[in-house]
Structure 1
């Protein structure tokens, strides 16, 4: 740590300190605004979400083209529409990083970023769960930041429940449920009546538009990750 003070005032005016701050990375494979907007709406919706106001870095490792500074600025504007705050860039070629700098982003080393596709999960003491005792209606979103979410009423079609930990729905689950929202691969989803539209654990998604098997549809069920595979099974099958 380095500090600076005036000779007649021993109190430091400022200090330089090292940090271990990690950023979530956004890794686009396309810079077409229309495609990005549709994909972001599908995953994050139009309102507040689990990454709202999150500072992120744009990772160019999957982008084959060399974008202009204007294209990167357009990408930044798209991300800001979804309450994301791009402040840096990483990965990709030298030309891509130069374009990012011209667009006003800071280029970071790889060690300064936690990729969104493989987030680092820290073991911390679990905070109290959020308990919702009213129905979650169509178009509504409930997010339990930093812990579990317990819902004691119906989650309607078109509603969304999100938690950094586990999700328990002691009623029909008919909307979208996203557990382990910040990368907790040990998180699970439990419901007494499985009728969900979409489920996700730690960013691994599965749409349930197709008919579920009779052993799961409308039955008490759980969802969890087995390595990178999303598993949905009836609770009666567990030991």
Structure 2
């Protein structure tokens, strides 16, 4: 393997992605009926409705058990109905994390020890057998390997999406979008024989293909998450 490395997230100053501190509201969600939660939030908003209007909110789902996954989308819907803006989430369990990602929320990555769950968030059901796709993935198609790695033995066309909770391997050309670590696994990687993607992402952190340097187009590469950035490394043909 060649050691050349490309920091995708910081390549262009006009599209710089960096960490900053923001004073977002945080709503800790308990395992209670959605109607009860709605009543509590509404009561709090009555004190200063103008202050909270269209305010971004981080949802802390850490207290929720895996069985409460259906509550996630209900909470997001009720906040939007109250004209709040659910922007991100924290979660301790994979089932809750998958439900939150499915609503379009971004995962809040934290390095604070106090924010980390006391158990491994990826403990739970074992990974399923690797999903292997023998045919090209055409434009408009979406393939999701839930709980497993995904292997594409052909190419992924422009307008197609391939997703996996684990790693993604594309043995043809990746023209479409590839999202690895969908359930929040930051150790997931994307391996491609020929890179020309519209978008790639790992654990919710993404970069558009327009940000790729020309030297990487059509090249074999792996994409990984390191030190909070998406990075690219060359692999042998």
When normalised by structure 2's length, the TM-score is: 0.53
The gaps in structure 2 that reach 5 residues or longer are 1-23, 25-33, 42-49, 55-70, 83-90, 101-105, 110-116
Shift of 1:213: 3.4
Write out the 4+ residue segments of structure 1 that deviate beyond 2 Å after TM superposition: 64-68, 84-89, 110-116, 118-121, 123-126, 210-213
CA deviation map 1:114-143 (0-9, x unaligned): 675137731453221110011101111000
For residues 167 and 218 of structure 2, what CA distance do their matches in structure 1 show?
A: 20
Q: 1:143 to 1:206 in 2, by over 3 A?
A: same
Q: Which has the higher contact order (CA 8 A, sep 6+)?
A: 2
Equivalent residue number for residue 177 of structure 2: 176
Aligned runs of 1:63-74 on 2, under 5 Å?
65-67=51-53
In the alignment, does 2:108 pair up with 1:118? yes
> Does the CA-based 8 Å contact 1:118-1:183 persist in structure 2?
no
Q: Select the structure of larger CA radius of gyration.
A: 1
Q: 1:159 to 1:66 in 2, by over 3 A?
A: same
CA deviation map 1:8-38 (0-9, x unaligned): xxxxxxxxxxxxxxxxxxxxx8xxxxxxxxx
Equivalent residue number for residue 87 of structure 1: 74
CA deviation map 1:41-72 (0-9, x unaligned): xxxxxxxxxxxxxx9x99x9xxx84349xxxx
For residues 129 and 92 of structure 2, what CA distance do their matches in structure 1 show?
A: 32
For residues 199 and 146 of structure 1, what CA distance do their matches in structure 2 show?
A: 19
Partner SS state of residue 73, structure 2: strand
Structure with more helix by fraction: 2
Equivalent residue number for residue 133 of structure 1: 134
Partner SS state of residue 230, structure 1: strand
Equivalent residue number for residue 226 of structure 1: 226
For residues 144 and 167 of structure 1, what CA distance do their matches in structure 2 show?
A: 9
Partner SS state of residue 88, structure 1: helix
Q: 1:213 to 1:140 in 2, by over 3 A?
A: same
Aligned runs of 1:1-239 on 2, under 5 Å?
65-67=51-53, 86-88=73-75, 116-118=106-108, 121-124=121-124, 125-214=126-215, 216-236=216-236
For residues 234 and 220 of structure 2, what CA distance do their matches in structure 1 show?
A: 6
Q: 1:210 to 1:227 in 2, by over 3 A?
A: closer
Partner SS state of residue 184, structure 1: coil
The gaps in structure 1 that reach 5 residues or longer are 1-28, 30-54, 69-83, 90-95, 101-109
When normalised by structure 1's length, the TM-score is: 0.52
